Amino acid sequence: MDTTVSVAAAPRPMAEDSPLVRKVVWRLMPLIMICYCFAFFDRINIGFVKAALTVDLGISNTAYGVGAALFTIGYVIFEVPSNMVLYRVGTRQWISRIMISWGLATAAMVFVTSEWQFYALRFLIGALEAGFSPGIIYYMTTWFPASYRGRATSYLFLAQAFSGGAGGPIAGMILTYMDGVGGHPGWHWVFLFGGLPCIALGLIVFRFLDNRIEDARWLSDSEKRELIASIERTSQAGKGRSLLGALRTPGFLTLALCYFMIQMASYGLNFWAPDLIRTAGGGNNLLVGFLTAAPYVCGATCMILIGRRADATGERRLYLVGYLCLAAIGFAGAGFFDHNVPVLVLSLCFIGAGIVGGMPTFWSIPPKLVVGAGAAAGIALINTLGQIGGIVSPIMVGRVKDVTGSATPALYVISGLCILAALILRFAASQQIRANDRALDKA
């Protein structure tokens, strides 16, 4: 029986709150959000174990920064190729492979006993995880109309914020209560609890995710036609249908430059927030873990409250400018009040509100410029260029701290970069970004 879905008799545009959209959300998003939680925890767990790790391995702040950056270097090298493979073989198969392999590599951190093993395994984890985030974001563009993608993407970053908020207290409890269990230090258990569940999740992804709308047995033929028609209609404004086309699209490289600076800020928060709080006198591992959760809770709150307003107005670019200004204030405050724990945590909350809260707003913009293979490769390329910020930021902060004894100068630099990104988005964004910010939402 031929199950090919035709879009010839396309129905009228679909409302954001339609039963069909809700059906897709409830089928796809819970599993994707859980996977995203573990992906983000895999990135930030290194920050929670820094103190114990540096003591056990005898490494400096700079060496820690290099190890943290090597994760991103592996990610950057393999990200675009990974997403091109994903586009060819299917999201279900490739995301499943990514999760299983990075889970195994993360759990293998328990065998690290030297600085060079630390470097090698962090690079390997990044290489194996490469393509996960942009792959999922691309996957969303194939299942949701443009008018809903901002909200759908916000679910991903809400999961990220939840992972950051819950990850701190959980890591603090593991470091406090699991230290010495089975003859292993607490930081071994942090990596085991972060890696082993990913293997099971990879198998679940392979079983339950559908690559295409046409493959979904849980949708009727009429629902498939309606969903495909709505997605195709709202994708017509996208120009870049290949990687080269994406590069030629006005505004594409501007977004990549801004994302580089955003990622400088993001990695500054993710890798160094626990150490900043601990250095300021924030207490034991358990208390530091709970205090580290505060920026992510603020980010999740802003993501929900302000994100809805940004979706309603269609002015996501201008809201992103506001988010970046908020983060700039936070980094400046964290540098100035680096020995005042209450004000430092408040400053980190400003950073969380601006960076964590603004991520879904940023990622709602690129799919309006590029479509098809251009979206798969283009989104990965923006993420790759942005991830270079994740290479520079940890090393810069670590080196500055080793040389000066304080992370403050590096925090001021990151604050300035947030302001620069805001100015570029406000005054130098291409006309196509400005036009598409609202046009596709009305499609």
Question: The CATH number of 33-442 is which of 1.20.1250.20, 3.40.50.300, 1.10.10.10, 3.40.50.970?
Answer: 1.20.1250.20
Q: Which residue has the higher pLDDT, 279 or 330?
A: 330
pLDDT band for position 423 (cuts 50, 70, 90): very high
Residue 244 has pLDDT above 70, yes or no: no
- What whole-number distance in Å separates Cα of residue 364 and Cα of residue 370? 12
pLDDT digits (tens, 9 = 90+) for 403-413: 888 888 999 99
Measuring CA to CA, which residue among 254, 277, 274, 263 is closest to residue 392?
A: 263
Q: What average pLDDT does this structure show over 128-153?
A: 81
Which tokens is 400 given? 């500055």
- What whole-number distance in Å separates Cα of residue 38 and Cα of residue 197? 8
3-state secondary structure of 340: coil
- What whole-number distance in Å separates Cα of residue 411 and Cα of residue 337? 11
Enumerate the domain spans of the chain. Answer: 33-442
How many residues are there in the chain? 443
> What does the pLDDT read at residue 5?
45
pLDDT band for position 41 (cuts 50, 70, 90): confident
pLDDT digits (tens, 9 = 90+) for 344-393: 999 999 999 999 888 888 877 776 665 544 555 677 678 777 878 878 88
- What whole-number distance in Å separates Cα of residue 411 and Cα of residue 62? 16
> What does the pLDDT read at residue 17?
61
- What whole-number distance in Å separates Cα of residue 155 and Cα of residue 166? 16
Q: Residue 85 burial by CB count (10 A; 0-12/13-18/19+): exposed, middle or buried?
A: middle
Residue 143 has pLDDT above 70, yes or no: yes
Torsion of CA 243, 150, 257, 264, to 10 degrees: -130
Average pLDDT, the chain: 81
> What does the pLDDT read at residue 440?
46
What's 96-157 look like in SS3? HHHHHHHHHHHHHHHHCCCHHHHHHHHHHHHHHHCCHHHHHHHHHHCCCCHHHHHHHHHHHH
- What whole-number distance in Å separates Cα of residue 432 and Cα of residue 425? 12
Highest mean pLDDT of the ranges 52-61, 234-243, 317-326, 395-404: 317-326
Q: Which residue has the higher pLDDT, 184 or 7?
A: 184
pLDDT band for position 243 (cuts 50, 70, 90): low
What is the reported pTM? 0.73
Residue 95 has pLDDT above 90, yes or no: yes
Report which residue type is found at 257.
L
Half-sphere exposure of 39 (CA within 13 A, CB side): 28
Q: What average pLDDT does this structure show over 256-272?
A: 87
Half-sphere exposure of 189 (CA within 13 A, CB side): 17
- What whole-number distance in Å separates Cα of residue 263 and Cα of residue 260? 5
User: 370 pairs with which residues across the strands?
Assistant: 240
Residue 236 has pLDDT above 70, yes or no: no
> What does the pLDDT read at residue 94?
93
Q: What average pLDDT does this structure show over 149-155?
A: 74
> What does the pLDDT read at residue 6?
44
Q: Residue 261 burial by CB count (10 A; 0-12/13-18/19+): exposed, middle or buried?
A: buried
Q: Which residue has the tokens 């030297």?
A: 114
pLDDT band for position 45 (cuts 50, 70, 90): confident
